[in-house]
Structure 1
């Protein structure tokens, strides 16, 4: 059975570093939207471009799983609904989903982001202290049940199923 490894965490948590390690360990396809945004759009994702890119990468990930390739989806997935939708879609593709949660405290996060911006500014998006605070407030930390894969549940009220929710969340998802 193929596996989708879903990295979960805030900027500066070490998701991409861990995604690279997992890709090497499992000979898996690694899909990291941050590495596509600047070359394609020259920006971080304003105007919904990141959502469109993530939808296409999610479709690609599911196709790779169907043909027998493990995938690392390095999205961050701040909401429980995003993680639940991806888990359900992964299972419908006949694969398993493993959440890889990387918590990070505020001081470590700031230090890592500052280092990244100093050492590779051409590959890094600007992030202000205000951004970090706003993002931290929006982040829904996964609990032990969710990490273990036992807490999927149904889609939010008003949605018939997870694929419909995913198509609305990621407009280019098919």
Structure 2
């Protein structure tokens, strides 16, 4: 089984994915963790989108290779890869199915003011779900890139709305 966790930033995806991994005894892969660990120290200042996207693609290649291996030995995989756009989610479904996996989507959301507050608090607290600083400007840019699921896509997902602060 491949669990695809998605939603806008600050919706609680990392917290949810961790809990789901523990519940299913699965392996969780987070794009933020991979990117920060592998490429964070080398990030150009200011960040360049083409530089970042090239490395995201490299991480995805490795994550999907690992996913294939885990699926082949019946270990659940929980993927927190961003999946901001509808086409990203469709492509992830196709890749999971090519791995021979059943697919479950998990959609998380919360009001924008709460999500923004969570992200800014995470920047300050730098707790266990912190990967990188998301500035208010970056939050706003990411909001414009995110495509919320339409009613049909929502119907396919297990929906969760986290209320933690």
Q: Which band: TM-score by shorter chain?
A: 0.7 to 0.9
Match of 1:63 in 2: 69
Q: CA deviation at 1:121?
A: 7.6
CA contact (8 A) 1:7 1:19 kept: yes
Q: CA deviation at 1:31?
A: 0.4
Count of aligned pairs: 148
Q: Equivalent of 1:38, from 16, 36, 40? A: 36
Q: CA deviation at 1:112?
A: 0.8
Q: Equivalent of 1:127, from 130, 134, 158? A: 134
Match of 1:157 in 2: none
User: Where in structure 1 do 4 or more consecutive aligned residues deviate above 4 Å?
Assistant: 43-46
Match of 1:118 in 2: 124
Query: Which structure 1 residue ranges, 5 or more long, are not aligned?
Result: 151-174
> Matched residue of 2:137: which SS?
helix
TM-score normalized with structure 1 length? 0.75
> Matched residue of 2:81: which SS?
strand
Match of 1:160 in 2: none
2:145 is the alignment partner of 1:138: yes
Query: Which structure 2 residue ranges, 5 or more long, are not aligned?
Result: 158-165
How far apart, CA to CA, are the structure 1 residues paired with 2:70 and 2:56?
21
How far apart, CA to CA, are the structure 2 residues paired with 1:70 and 1:79?
24
TM-score normalized with structure 2 length? 0.79
Q: CA deviation at 1:143?
A: 2.5
CA contact (8 A) 1:116 1:124 kept: no
1:1-150 maps to which residues of 2 (within 5 A)? 3-42=1-40, 46=48, 47=51, 48-120=54-126, 123-149=130-156
